[in-house]
Amino acid sequence: MDATQLLELFKSIVATVQNEPTVDSWNELRVFAEEDLRPNSEFHPPANLVSSVLNLLINKAGKKDGKIKWKMSDESIIALECLYHLLIKVDEFQDAIEAVTTTQLTKLRLGFVILEGDKDSKMVAMQLILFLQENILKFKDLSLYVHKSAKVQKYIDEHRHEANVPEMPRLSSIDRLSVQAEYYDIDVKVVVRGFQSDMKKGLTSTEVANRTAIYGLNVLPQPEPRRWWSMLFEQVKDFMMIILFLAAVASYAIGDPKAGSTLLFVILINVIIGFVQEYKAEKAINALMSMDVQKAKVIRDGNQVAVEASSLVPGDIVVLDEGDQIPADLRLFEVSNLKVIEAVLTGESEPIEKTTKPIRSKNPPVGDRKNMAMMTTTVVGGRGKGIVSTIGVRTEAGKIAESLVKSTQPPTPLQKRLDFLGKVLVVIALALVMMIVGIGFIRDEEVVDLVKLSVSLGVSAIPEGLVAVTTVVMAIGVQRMAKKNGIIRKLSAVETLGSVSVICSDKTGTLTEGKMKATQLWTGNNLFSFEGHPVEGQGLSRVSLNDETVALPDPRLFHLERSLQICALCNNSSYTKDVDKVSYVGDPTEVACMIGAMTGGIVKSKLADDGGDWTFVLEHAFDSTRKRMSVVYEYSEDTNLSVAPSKEKGKAKKGKEKGKEKDDEGTKERKTYVLAKGGCESILSICKHQNLKEKKPLTDKYKAKIEKKAAELAENGLRVLALAYKAVPNKKGGKKLSKKVAEKDLTFIGLIGIIDPERKEVKGAIARCHQAGITVCMITGDHQSTAKAIAIKLNIADKSSKPLRGTDIDVLFNTGTLNSLDPWPTVFARVSPENKLQLVQALQSRGSVVAMTGDGVNDAPAIKSADCGVAMGISGTDITKQVASVVLRDDNFETIANAVEEGRVIYDNIQKFIIYILACNSAEVFSVLGAIAIFGSPIPFTVMQVLWANIVCDIPTAMALGVDPAEKDVMTRPPRDPKESILNLGVGILLLCQSLIMSILCVASLRMGLTLTDIFQDPDTGAPYTTVHAQTLCFVVLCTCQLFHGMNCRSLKLSLIQINPISNLWMVAAIFGSFGLVVGSLYVPGVNTFLQLTPLIGVDWAVIGISLVIFTVLVEIMKAIYRLVSGKDPVYTHYEPEVAEELVSPTPRS
């Protein structure tokens, strides 16, 4: 059989086994694998089929006969035989088995088969084990996947000669490489051998080139770039644009190319405006994401070199140092106090201490794979080395990214409403056309005239300026937001922000500064405060006690000085200072301790690094078990210590005595000290003394006092570290101090409180949101007490509030009760990225419009699902920026509040010009219907005149409405219901009345013009006025009323005399400019001919003036009635940012 026949037969047999798993069907599969299939054949089954069959065989082979203990069933023995023969004959199965973890392989129960099975099953199991051991390095260690491996290995060694196992047939060394996988469950040396790499020399340049051709580049999957033609097509396919295009085609069909060309021109203008603004927004976000190319330090050809992270391949040896972003998923083989923040993947803000030991647990979560370093995470402490095990889409970050690029963004509320409105208008237009055509047929009108009339009605009913004006107004909002550090990725996102009712914000970096800061230091009797920033020069740098500045050195402040020395010296963080930028490297907590020490004038570089009197001896690094860190230093007696830490001086010896050294000025006695910091409970467990004015035993009473103070500081949201030290006799030698000896019988000196302080401007922004009826929720991975303390300070919650933990969210979501919580919590602690998605779904099911912030890769699903996803521009990953609607350049919550306000203003203005455009277009429709159906008059406007009115009058005035200043109550009213129509009943009736008034005046002027044709004559020719004269009069009345109506629409309730005309100079310019164009179209030769208009005489302008006065009076009456029906006159409460402190209310208005 050829390869095609073999594949079809294989598919057929597998289907039979899956549907009817009998002994006969299994035997049929065995015969195929053992006899029909030949080695080195061209049989290449697809990957999905291979994966399915492999899982089927593993699951079946691991099942025993239920009647006899450990005896395999006949089907299980056959499955094991099939697995063996497929592995030795088919490359695709060899590749697939390499991707199987050792945990999955334990399902085969090979150890039990060899020790308890019959002779045949033992032989098959032994052949399979030998095959795996000899050909796949990750399966060489039998203990990883075989029960009682020592006994099994002994049996195999004794019976190896009985088995005939071929080597895996491969053609090249490249083909024998291990597949990409996270090898956390096997020894790292096996991983290195599997990738044919070298821990010391790395890969050669030739090997890298070969592997790049096989594995590709190390890049995360990106959303399909939006091509310019795709953006252009989005504009063209708009429903109203299609209807206008059909109207243009109809105009050409009846021999009216002027109308058809003008319609096409209108379409072109709309498309160009929308395309240009969409293209600019896309370019802005791409510019934000085009950051510096990430570099990675690798060992290649035996040398450490820096390369682009995208060039990494599996098997590369990567070197990690503090501050590095991890460029791929690595299996670590060397670590030295290596700590990695994995918040972008796990949401956990605490650094994870890494190890190199294999992890044997089954399918551990990402956060528990401590021997792996994941792509996009960051090293904050220590150093390490690892071998690249997966790149690009195979990494944990890549898997998330791949699922996101395939999803689509749902339409926003405004898009839905405009789409619905457009369809309604089209239906209305079609209904009117059918009605007029019916009337025309009854009157035996000409078909061409009926088509012209239908096109005129259709163009009148469809607000072709609506799309262009909406696009431009949103684009203006985008530009205004860009100046306020908010990048809007899509124009429609502006409106979505305006309807947001719940903002779910990250704490770190958004509500807070994102920088840990030491704020308080307690030394038993005194509580010191830290102010300012010693490095960046932000404010006055000082340490204060009872609001009075203290300065070091001071003999009375020994406890303060020693505490700050511990903060500076028991610390691995550092900083570099450029002209305008300070960069910190290290664990955020240690950075805070370093800055706190510097605030008090204690700088590590002066004490120890730059020839200071402190000499580093050794370090006992922090680990999660001890929860503390200690260092050993030697120092000279004349260091900055103001008071000797111990009264025990010892007796000096003459000459060169041990513990003394000569210098230019004489003799310095050197002492050895242990300095320690860590969790309060951990430090107290190794302390024996307390140090007030002098060292005393640490009593239970004083220990209780320390614990009470630590709890008090923690309740205020501080992370509390305890500080301790001890003097060590020099005869013991600092270098010989073991961890056990060094961390024993220390002296407690103080507690330091560290916090990520809230941004100063955020409190006012939250108050504005509460005034606007928006619920603000704080989401964090931090502890509950820390989360609650910050939330209380920002007035997100009060003291009675109880934070909801991530584990509680899981339980409530799985039981379907999360969305029914009442009241809804505003503080969520210990939250995972999965919890964020659950919160979004629960809030949306409650009818809320949700804005969700995030920065990590794992936040992307929640951001994607939210009504408005907000990504961080500074700390955010590329994936989150790609899926977000809004990107914050400054990672600041105030920018979100500003965006919400901007969204509300934009929506208000969009609603104003929609009402304006619909009133004007409705007036055109009613005028046509009234003139023809009621009075039997000629068509009041031609298609060209309708288009000219819409372009010259409607669009400029509507655009001026689009930039109308914000009404004073914009952030004091509750959010809109997303289901609420743009036009509610009251507004709809008001709009209808206004359009009817306008149309009545137009029809009346048309009838008057027709009457004037019998009275007046053309002064040049002496001929009587024609119907064109009456149409021109009607046209100018329409245009004048429309232009003046723009000023009316600036407020639905306020009277015209209450509106300050110069507060929107664009409106003034639009009215006078458009009126000038209308007048010009009457008197400029060529233009009036093209538009079928004629100059007017004095009596005509009198009619126009009277019509305008009547229109204004009647509209004012309509507004008065609307105010009376809808409520009292609007009273606006202007919001002033400086009174934000008085607007605190954790519970938003209902």
Q: How far apart are CA 385 and CA 294, in angstroms?
A: 18
Q: How far apart are CA 1127 and CA 1124, in angstroms?
A: 6
The residue written with tokens 């306008």 in the block is: 998
Q: How far apart are CA 137 and CA 189, in angstroms?
A: 10
Q: How far apart are CA 630 and CA 418, in angstroms?
A: 65
Q: How far apart are CA 136 and CA 194, in angstroms?
A: 8
Q: Which long-range contacts (CB under 8 A, 24 or more apart) does 57-60 make?
A: 57/82, 57/83, 57/86, 58/83, 58/100, 58/104, 58/105, 58/107, 58/108, 59/107, 60/21, 60/26
For residues 332 and 188, is the Cβ–Cβ distance under 8 A?
A: yes
pLDDT recorded at residue 114: 82
Stretch 651-677: mean pLDDT: 58
pLDDT at 983 over 50: yes
Question: Which is higher by pLDDT, 145 or 395?
Answer: 395
pLDDT at 143 over 90: no
Q: How far apart are CA 367 and CA 350, in angstroms?
A: 11
Confirm whether 506 is a catalytic residue. Answer: yes
List Cβ neighbours of 952 (8 Å cut-off, separation of 6 or more).
1039, 1074, 1077, 1078, 1081
In this prediction, residue 862 has a pLDDT band, given cuts at 50, 70 and 90, of confident
Identify the H or E element spanning 661: strand 660-663
Q: For residue 100, which phi and psi values (nearest 5 degrees)?
A: -75, 135
Stretch 309-327: mean pLDDT: 89
Stretch 887-892: mean pLDDT: 86
Q: Enter the tokens of residue 601.
A: 């004038």
Specify the amino acid at residue 193: R
759: helix, coil or strand? coil
Stretch 515-525: mean pLDDT: 87
Per-residue pLDDT tens digits for 551-601: 776 767 888 889 999 999 999 888 877 766 777 777 888 889 998 898 888
CA atoms within 13 A on the CB side of 940: 36
pLDDT at 948 over 60: yes
pLDDT recorded at residue 1072: 94
Identify the H or E element spanning 691: strand 687-691
Q: For residue 268, which phi and psi values (nearest 5 degrees)?
A: -60, -45
Most trustworthy range by pLDDT among 25-29, 247-251, 404-408, 540-544:
25-29
Question: Which is higher by pLDDT, 1028 or 42?
Answer: 1028
pLDDT at 227 over 70: yes
List Cβ neighbours of 562 (8 Å cut-off, separation of 6 or more).
641, 645, 691, 725, 749
In this prediction, residue 1148 has a pLDDT band, given cuts at 50, 70 and 90, of very low
Lowest mean pLDDT, pick from 269-283, 592-606, 648-662: 648-662
Q: How far apart are CA 270 and CA 605, in angstroms?
A: 64
Per-residue pLDDT tens digits for 869-878: 898 887 776 6
Stretch 475-502: mean pLDDT: 79
pLDDT at 661 over 70: no
For residues 939 and 510, is the Cβ–Cβ distance under 8 A?
A: no
Stretch 335-354: mean pLDDT: 78
Q: How far apart are CA 196 and CA 499, in angstroms?
A: 57
DSSP state for residue 367 in the 8-state scheme: G
pLDDT recorded at residue 593: 92
Per-residue pLDDT tens digits for 1067-1105: 999 999 999 999 999 999 888 888 888 888 888 899 999
CA angle 888, 893, 895 (to 5 degrees): 55
Q: In terms of Cα–Cα distance, which of 786, 798, 823 is closest to 1145? A: 798
Per-residue pLDDT tens digits for 724-764: 999 887 665 667 788 888 999 999 999 999 988 888 889 99
Name the catalytic one among 506, 613, 782, 855.
Answer: 506
pLDDT recorded at residue 1077: 93
Q: How many CB atoms lie within 10 A of CB 164?
A: 7
DSSP structure string for 480-507: HHHHTTEEESSTTHHHHHHT--EEEEEI
DSSP state for residue 203 in the 8-state scheme: B
pLDDT recorded at residue 449: 66
Q: Enter the tokens of residue 741.
A: 């000896």
The phi-psi region of residue 524 (left if phi > 0; otherwise alpha if psi is between -120 and 50; otherwise beta) is left
Lowest mean pLDDT, pick from 49-53, 278-282, 496-500, 908-912: 278-282
In this prediction, residue 1142 has a pLDDT band, given cuts at 50, 70 and 90, of very low
pTM to 2 decimal places: 0.62
pLDDT recorded at residue 177: 59
In this prediction, residue 666 has a pLDDT band, given cuts at 50, 70 and 90, of very low
Q: How far apart are CA 20 and CA 121, in angstroms?
A: 23
pLDDT at 383 over 80: yes
